Structure 1
């Protein structure tokens, strides 16, 4: 028996039934390499109210479902005591759950998997320390009958980027791999003497797969990365292994991957490889809140790195890869390796692996978990809840007729302004949770305390904090405010140490808590919780507006956590900034006093003076006199620091052409600076009619459904896709647009056409009216001009 505590960071987890019961398996990365630990004799558990426990026990016994049950010192949110039902095998747990559901007996926490519960109840997130019985193993350390607890440990993980090249039908040509120490391409073909040393020549696909699998296990990476690596690369590798009757043995124990599909989205697959984590660059970027018009490797690498792939067009790429394989294998190897390198560089540039590790350490989520904010909340909250004598509700328990509103958006006052200040509440929703003790258990305890106050009033006691929709929150019994407070402190430390991945991970987690409490997909959903956050934010924003207007300034707009204030055209930049700082201090002081006097609570709310726009446009709704919402533009800074800011307008929308975006930026800048605009507008229109901007007239839109699913109100991009695939079919080319994706097209006199099948003249007047005209008339009326009046004579000539 090894009694010496050892540390490791969690890579993968799994549960399986054996002859002797459930076996929990965890793979870790420790100081000396990979570690496999197994936990024996754990039981799967769910809970049943005492009133139904005996009936449930009898029914399961009659159906030969072996189990244990006992009364516990736990209750549900309805204040009913519960029994725990325990099962030695997972299949018995699932069978019992289904049988009791058919009988109409409610089971609580029956969706929590044993391998997750084991970690959760021990507060283990990313790292653990353990003891166990050491067993002999090759290539890794192995311990059975392990006991584990939480610890702190930062792993040194090895990472490998892979990519494969294949024919349109999926026949493999090559497999590439890259890291900071590795360059490798396995290429089918005869040895070429002048080839680069990183190419290993193989006879055929069978030989390619065998040698790649053997090599991968020798290199033994902890993390494998790629671009759409699970749903394309690994899925295809699995398929080709099956066709060639080869075991896809890439697990650290020689096992093949375990696959499962997303029930709601069958085209999305999940893969579990024993002891290795597969991280997809696209999924991880999205989890880290990166947003791009396109998540193609070409687009993202160009945007983040300033470099891209050699081949861009999909049709040409497929044909070009095939041509390179037949005639220029060394070029294909270079292309294959470069794709691997680009993914590696993106991970390095964005610190994605650091982000994944830190997110896991904070929340207990698997390293490869996509999304997972509900699971993260459950991991953090559930063990605390159990220790306070409660079990968690089930999904649907919090449903009611109540609806919690979204963030508050004020009506705007349209106009062209000088000196607009923006003040933002710092992390408003998490701050409201902290300040007003908004918490699932706190709501249940608060309602009990409020009822007791009614029955036994004590005027000098302040037991509960009022929420909205009949909610009251306990001052003392809660967890979420402290969870946020701890995360907040850790984020402040991360900022001080310039640890961007940690800061970003914490920000995402904190900001997700409101969405979780307001989501029917969370077991703690209750509209009284989410409503007490959003309705409080509405109240705070309106209160802040009133205070600012008491000072004599005009609030022209407000949105969720931000408030826009016009402080007058007569002020200099320095004076405006001074007003912003004074206003910030005044509001924070007033807010602290208000909450102390009214609710006897300490405020965690903090408003910050964020931005000074020395020129600002709040536009009107097109064709109306009322102001818009979530759309504005402004100019900040002077000289080299000068910057145009757009929100919700054409310049930041992916469905507007580059011509419209560039036109808007230049035109708005001229208006903001008081420069004449007529000549610029006339020149742009003339150059458009002359065909000088043809390359900037491309629309880019996403097909969000399968092409055949568009039946009514067919939009232009769908018409373009159908026209393109009709031509592709005629030409014997692959159909590109049948299953969602992005499309680029141009508006012609004969309707929308994709750029690769452009056969008709471009409809320039349409672009001038719908792109240039629409942009211009968003700002020109504020200086007494209109696009039509400026261009009518020129367009009549056309």
Structure 2
């Protein structure tokens, strides 16, 4: 018997049926478990005889049994047990007979684990044996029992990988220069070169073929559980895979000697999926995004600077030429660069606690560590086994009600202006709280719709929207939300930020999947009963606050912004905020008990006190904007900070010039500091060329450059000029296949890229920057201060 954590899973069919393979991390070392288990799908009991006749006619090994489950419509269901290779052919055969298969698309490995409530960790029992060569343990069949997280397991063995290559040039093949590996106990760079130059961390090999073979040997020798990198699947492994094919070398990196398995997404050819038996490959970029980190750029240099205050050894657009130069003339320097990239990735994983996040996410959802996104799969892993135990089979995609469209979150029209003393009150986890309070649940909807309409009046059901109603007693999701919420609170108290964040992502996805037509439970009676109830809660909460003598000047999905309408000290503002949330929470508890006989789990929290607050209007209109504001807050240590939301100061598509200008202007206005002389000095500094380093735009071409044919925007014009320059230099195109990021300036000769050779290019068009960058950020607030930008800046009208 041993405790284990899941690394990878797969399945295949042989002449005996479907074989599930699980690779586990255990105290015994890596362990491969193989289990015989047929695939399963469901049909209506009324169709079983015809289905059996089809199976008999085809002589297919399909066993059909009644299992005591039913569809949401109430129709009894039967299970079809068959080898996985027959699943989709079986579906097509039955479809020709008008018979519908359900739950056909659930992976056999996922189903096996979820039905046993195994999420990441488990206890294995059976006859363990050592594989030939002693590299791992094996378990045939065996027993599996769900357990909580086991921190007594040895830490995962992790290896950071990065490759250096030539950059594609016209008429030249791409070349692999080196492969770097990093762990605290192991650093190595394998590189093509003269073996006489080999150093402590650098091993030189004869040619590309030898480099590829030595890479496989090193991975096998170090035997990592997890390989990490930066864009490691889409670039490093994709490049290596092509090289192994080119040299006719099997890409054998699985723990059992199997080859890497590879496929491209049918919907997105740029999206690649890979599987290595017993080894997880984690991409730092994907993992950061899943953990909801946000950066203007996910380039390794930028993210490392953010987390570590340290960057790569080579920077900028000349990096490609530098790498090729070092490969030819200074291999130890290239090895240091290669190894540094590996080390930076490792340290980012540590600093951002990404490995712990990946483990916790797997433990909470049952998703494999390397399965990014997967909100629908995570929801189904949690929901389906509970649904089956409640006696139901899940519907297929498209079977839910969707004749009416569910709205998004409520965003109130704002009141534009400059205000003093604005409080932000925020409903804690509003959508999960609505689900729990109003019993919103796929099975609960089925049970509720089976009750008579009068069940709402007799309080057996809770009314939803679009005619939906939910059973007061029979439901699954509200209890799941309760469990997740309690686990998150415990994680917060324990200081486990990774677990808290993992649960937050899961809870937030519960509404998202119900509102997604890619989910089998998609039904707009479900999603609208969440969002429209949210509208109702914000509107009624705002009305209650107005009745207390305050104004609500804005509301956004789960928050209300309350203007106190008088001058107050910070302590008094805090006291008012706490009184409001206590009163409002009590009011909702009484209202919901009275109206629906339900317990309220709605919890309003006092979030922020803005001493000064600015809400802009939509440019050129009197209507207030949405999701855009700035406010001054005070910290406990007496310091002050201005929070910007959606304004130019925090938007990467505005220049550093505009962003810095807006921050300082608003600071001066909020604290009552004079700004006329400062503004004039800023304008003079711009016109004198003293701010040329702040004039750079950075935007992304989301399509190949060739797709921009009519009304070509400035960033595409700049990209076209850069492509011409690269072509003249014999360098590879950057935007021909999939677009990309471009940095550029507006000059007197139009948009020009930031030239890779460092040349300055044409003179800047300062009138453009005054009119399109500086003036708009000032005019939006001057509308309420009574200032005139042109007069205050001392400019001639002809400039504009």
The bucket for the TM-score relative to the shorter chain is over 0.9
Distance 1:471 1:66 in 2: 42
CA offsets, 1:507-545, max 9 Å, x none?
000011001100001000010111001111111111111
Hey, what does 2:359 align to over in structure 1? 357
Hey, what does 2:18 align to over in structure 1? 22
Hey, what does 1:342 align to over in structure 2? 344
Structure 2 unaligned regions, length at least 5? 168-172
Distance 1:265 1:706 in 2: 15
Is residue 229–residue 283 contact of structure 2 (8 Å, CA) maintained in 1?
yes
Hey, what does 1:292 align to over in structure 2? 295
CA offsets, 1:417-439, max 9 Å, x none?
11000000000000111111110
Is residue 401–residue 525 contact of structure 2 (8 Å, CA) maintained in 1?
no
TM-score normalised according to structure 1 size: 0.96
Hey, what does 1:321 align to over in structure 2? 323
Is residue 417–residue 569 contact of structure 1 (8 Å, CA) maintained in 2?
no
Q: CA deviation at 1:22?
A: 1.0
Distance 1:102 1:266 in 2: 31
Distance 2:525 2:798 in 1: 61
Q: CA deviation at 1:102?
A: 4.1
Query: Helix, strand or coil for the counterpart of 1:259?
Result: strand
Hey, what does 1:660 align to over in structure 2? 658
Query: Helix, strand or coil for the counterpart of 2:703?
Result: strand
Hey, what does 1:708 align to over in structure 2? 706
Is residue 65–residue 96 contact of structure 1 (8 Å, CA) maintained in 2?
no
Query: Helix, strand or coil for the counterpart of 1:721?
Result: helix
Residue among 536, 540, 543 paired with 2:537: 540
Structure 1 unaligned regions, length at least 5? none
User: Superposition pairs for residues 265-276 of structure 1, below 5 Å?
Assistant: 265-276=268-279
Q: 1:453 to 1:660 in 2, by over 3 A?
A: closer
Hey, what does 1:789 align to over in structure 2? 791
Query: Helix, strand or coil for the counterpart of 1:756?
Result: coil
Residue among 443, 452, 455 paired with 1:441: 443
Query: Helix, strand or coil for the counterpart of 1:419?
Result: strand
Distance 2:580 2:300 in 1: 46
Query: Helix, strand or coil for the counterpart of 1:793?
Result: coil
User: Superposition pairs for residues 346-385 of structure 1, below 5 Å?
Assistant: 346-385=348-387
Distance 2:448 2:119 in 1: 30
Q: CA deviation at 1:144?
A: 0.9
Distance 1:378 1:427 in 2: 21
Deviates more, 1:669-678 or 1:366-375: 669-678
Q: CA deviation at 1:796?
A: 5.0
Query: Helix, strand or coil for the counterpart of 2:730?
Result: coil
Is residue 450–residue 464 contact of structure 1 (8 Å, CA) maintained in 2?
no
Cα RMSD for the two superposed structures: 1.6
Is residue 419–residue 567 contact of structure 1 (8 Å, CA) maintained in 2?
yes
Q: CA deviation at 1:178?
A: 0.7
Distance 1:102 1:218 in 2: 53
Distance 2:325 2:543 in 1: 69
Hey, what does 1:85 align to over in structure 2? 80
Q: CA deviation at 1:128?
A: 1.7
Distance 1:128 1:344 in 2: 28
Q: CA deviation at 1:90?
A: 1.8
Deviates more, 1:743-752 or 1:375-384: 743-752
Distance 1:101 1:112 in 2: 18
Hey, what does 1:600 align to over in structure 2? 597
The alignment status of 1:101 with 2:98, answered yes or no, reads: no
CA offsets, 1:195-226, max 9 Å, x none?
64111121111111212211111111100000
Q: 1:612 to 1:61 in 2, by over 3 A?
A: same
Hey, what does 1:770 align to over in structure 2? 772
Query: Helix, strand or coil for the counterpart of 2:257?
Result: coil
Q: 1:452 to 1:581 in 2, by over 3 A?
A: closer
| TM superposition outliers: structure 1 runs of 4+ over 6 Å | none
Query: Helix, strand or coil for the counterpart of 1:785?
Result: coil
Distance 1:753 1:480 in 2: 54
Distance 2:661 2:196 in 1: 53
Hey, what does 2:170 align to over in structure 1? none
CA offsets, 1:110-168, max 9 Å, x none?
10121111111111110122233434312110011223221233442111101011112
Q: CA deviation at 1:474?
A: 0.8
Q: 1:762 to 1:34 in 2, by over 3 A?
A: same
Aligned length: 785
Distance 1:229 1:710 in 2: 30
Is residue 11–residue 275 contact of structure 1 (8 Å, CA) maintained in 2?
yes
The alignment status of 1:200 with 2:197, answered yes or no, reads: no
Hey, what does 1:173 align to over in structure 2? 177
Distance 2:535 2:708 in 1: 39
The alignment status of 1:520 with 2:514, answered yes or no, reads: no
Is residue 755–residue 761 contact of structure 2 (8 Å, CA) maintained in 1?
no
Q: CA deviation at 1:400?
A: 2.1
Distance 1:793 1:116 in 2: 68
TM-score normalised according to structure 2 size: 0.96
Q: CA deviation at 1:451?
A: 4.4
Query: Helix, strand or coil for the counterpart of 2:78?
Result: strand
CA offsets, 1:357-403, max 9 Å, x none?
00000010010011011000000000111111110011111142111
Is residue 313–residue 340 contact of structure 2 (8 Å, CA) maintained in 1?
no
Residue among 46, 49, 54 paired with 1:54: 49
CA offsets, 1:239-271, max 9 Å, x none?
112222222211111111111111211111111
CA offsets, 1:322-356, max 9 Å, x none?
10000000000000000000100110000101000
Is residue 170–residue 236 contact of structure 1 (8 Å, CA) maintained in 2?
no
